[in-house]
Amino acid sequence: GNPFSAHPKIDPETGRLVTFSYQICLGGSLKSGGLQTRFTIYELDQQYRVQRRLEHEFPGYAFMHDFAITKNYYVMFHNPVDLEILPFMVGEKCPGECLVFDVDRPTRVHLIPRGPLPAGMPSEPVALEMENCFVFHHANAYEDENGCVVVDSVRLPELGELLSRSDSDLPFQHVDWSDLPVTSIWRQTISPWGALTKAVQTRQLSELFVEFPKVSPKVVGREYRYVYLAAGFNPRINSPLVSWLKLDMQTGEETIWSANNSTFVGEPEFVPRPGGIEEDDGWLMGFLYDGSQHTSEFVIVDARHMSDPPIARLRLKHHIPHGLHGMFVNEYYGPSPFI
């Protein structure tokens, strides 16, 4: 089968799980490198039965790790990245080494209708251009009172800097983090009815170096107030992620929780409090890795009071390798569970 996105969304109104798969196909134009990318978007009910299935093709190689949803749209960012197909196919390079960032090509935003739209809204997919950048992760998206689509995303100024300055043979401990580009959170306001180059307005929401945005599952695809992110130890340069940040989208207030100088945080997860009313009434939780002790722990923080000490710190018997998202392995590496 085809690979699926690592970031499915659950629509809080319908309860459906929304995700996409993709397939890189030969047959595109020479301008697009002879490739095209076919995306299949799925909406699944709570029994994982397909309720909606939609195919959409993009010219060339479309690198999309994440996407966003609103009440009426699927939102997909087409990064200006090409794939050197030959070294990848013959196994000379891994996929990441075959990516080529085009600094002269705009990033394209695609709004794909989720179904029949209200009168006056575009009934066909819309593709709009914005400034050149690279987006890994989206925090959330929604439609405002003017009918514009608002998307909050963590983005790099360009992927080319990261690819050119990252040496795959260099040990992790020797990476000069300050020489790498900084990811930060931006807001894109998209008018489906605007002129091609003027339909996307952007502004930076925070100068802090952040990644792995999360919101309450109650507000996915809806207007919201709080986003939670992992942040670096130096706010304005690239660095290992050592703290969790709560960003208030209304006031701009930034609240940071961190453990100590030798502890690195993983991707945060927000869990709403049962019966809670306020958007931030819940817990932020995730794994920490203590580099000085070579141990891991699971930490739970009150999302309303991020500056307070954690509610719980559960020290684990075995360290968890620090990585991107989660990882599945078919072999158990810990002590015997029967001892």
Q: Which residues are annotated as a binding site?
A: 7, 65, 137, 325
Q: Give me the sheet containing 134-143, strands edge to edge.
A: 134-143, 149-156, 184-190, 200-204
Alpha helix segments (H runs only) across 16-158: 85-89
Place of tokens 């339909």: 199
Q: How large is the C-alpha radius of gyration of the chain?
A: 21
CB contact at 8 A, 292 and 316: no
The CA distance from 67 to 62, in Å, is 12
Instruction: Pick the closest to residue 160 from 80, 226, 56, 233 (CA basis).
Output: 80
3-state secondary structure of 98: helix
Residues in the annotated binding site for Fe cation = 7, 65, 137, 325
CB contact at 8 A, 206 and 247: yes
> Which residues, in sequence order, are CB contacts of 201 under 8 Å at separation 6+?
188, 189
Instruction: Pick the closest to residue 113 from 69, 67, 80 (CA basis).
Output: 69
The CA distance from 228 to 313, in Å, is 19
Look up residue 6 and give its amino acid.
A
